[in-house]
Amino acid sequence: MNINTEWYRAFYWTAVKGSLSRAAEKLHITQPAVSHTLKQLESQLGGQLFFRTPKGVVLTKEGEVLFSHVKQAFQLMEIGEKKIAEMHNLDSGEIHIGASDTLCKHFLLPYLEQYHQAYPNVRIHVTNRTTPETLALLKNGLIDFGIVNLPAADGRVNFRESQALHECLIGGKAYAALAEQPFHLEELSRYPLLMLESGGNTRRFLDGYSSSHGVTLKPEFELGSIDLIIQFVRSGFGLAFVAREYAQNELDAGTLVEIPLIPAVPERHVGIATLSGTPLSSASRRLLELLP
């Protein structure tokens, strides 16, 4: 049965208002237009829906049956519209983010705290993965956006540079003497080296940096997070590359020392990854506005 949904809208408001003229005012159309629409609906359904009275219109038995169902449909639509409005106003909604443990702790967490205070009814889900894994989640539609380590490239993903990161060579107190003079990259082979496990963007970036200067990095320890590396270095297990921004507290406290490396590691950035051509929810857009 081919019935225009606008016919049901005219039927609904005529029943609610009990008057063709008041229904016409609500729908911003003329009374004859409402009358014509109702006649089309009655013709299509094969029965009269209203009794005309001097005071307006009254539903027939058939009209009452139809109204009971149409009323539910319009109430559900109103609920849907309210839910959408709540999501736009950030009174509800969800955000799914992908980020590594390190990026979540050292970059994202302060902004999530600020966001949660402003919009406590928005649920936040964070999936901790490496940059390549985060990009895979994004392309599979499992997260709204990702916080990744740049450089990275993917034809389906837009990348926005955010916070700058400055990799430096660090050691514990046992290596404090190395901080007193320039340290050449090729000298690293003489000391135990700690690095992140292979497969992530940070490890790939550092391997690329060293190989571009004719040096192959051979770590004695491969660990799963920057925080673990910092703990191991602080305990005297060796040297490590760590973004200065992630170890600043320990450097300021003197529990770690920065060793002046020649050549210096190039600057890199935290990146915000979104899927090309895919619109973001209001909740996600608002959080991205907070990120630098």
Residues 6+ apart with CB under 8 A from 154: 135, 139, 273
Domain residue extents for the chain: 5-85, 91-162+270-290, 164-268
Average pLDDT, the chain: 92
Of 55-64, 68-77, 172-181, which gets the smallest average pLDDT?
68-77
5-85: CATH architecture: Orthogonal Bundle (1.10)
Q: What is the pLDDT of residue 55?
A: 86
Q: What is the pLDDT of residue 213?
A: 97
Q: Are 100 and 150 in contact (CB under 8 A)?
A: no
What is the signed CA dihedral for 71, 76, 81, 85, rounded to 10 degrees?
A: 130
* Count of beta carbons in the 10 Å neighbourhood of residue 148: 30
Q: What is the DSSP string of 38-105?
A: HHHHHHHHTS--EEEETTEEEE-HHHHHHHHHHHHHHHHHHHHHHHHHHHHTTSS-EEEEEE-HHHII
Two domains, one topology: 5-85 and 91-162+270-290: no
* Residue 119: strand, helix, or coil: coil
What's the CATH code, domain 91-162+270-290? 3.40.190.10
Q: What is the pLDDT of residue 241?
A: 97
Fold of 164-268: D-Maltodextrin-Binding Protein; domain 2 (3.40.190)
Amino acid at 134: T
pLDDT digits (tens, 9 = 90+) for 14-38: 999 999 999 999 999 999 999 999 9
Q: What is the pLDDT of residue 278?
A: 87
| Tokens read off for 266 | 């190039």
- The C-alpha atoms of residue 170 and residue 18 are separated, in whole angstroms, by 80
Which is nearest to 200 in space by CA: 220, 217, 223, 230?
223
**pLDDT of 244 above 60:** yes
Q: Average pLDDT in the 140-149 region?
A: 94
**pLDDT of 1 above 60:** no
| Tokens read off for 129 | 């993965």
